[in-house]
Amino acid sequence: MRSISGTAATKAYRCPGCDQEIPPGTPHVVAWPADEPEGTVERRHWHTRCWQRRR
Ligand SMILES: [Zn+2]
């Protein structure tokens, strides 16, 4: 997976790690499969803490 950190969201996303919402304006991690070019698949939005625990 590739990821971008520190993205400030303008809307709420649901984190797949904990199934809780990430409130707008919260810096978080955006991830997508490394074998897919950016933009061709849906990105996943994770809480930074949930992303780190995932590994
Ligand atoms: Zn989470």
All residues at 6 or more sequence positions from 51 whose CB lies less than 8 Å from its CB, including other chains? 3, 17, 28, 29, 31
What is the CA(46)–ligand 1 centre distance, in A? 6
Using a CB cutoff of 5 Å, list residues around ligand 1, an ion.
Answer: 15, 17-18, 47, 50
Taking the model in full, what pTM does it have? 0.74
pLDDT tens string, the chain, 55 residues long: the values are: 777 666 667 789 999 999 999 998 888 988 888 787 766 777 889 999 999 998 6
What is the CA(12)–ligand 1 centre distance, in A? 12
What is the CA(16)–ligand 1 centre distance, in A? 6
Q: What pLDDT is stored for residue 17 in this prediction?
A: 95
CATH superfamily of 2-54: Zinc finger, PARP-type (3.30.1740.10)
Picking from 29, 25, 22, the residue whose alpha carbon sits closest to that of residue 4 is 29
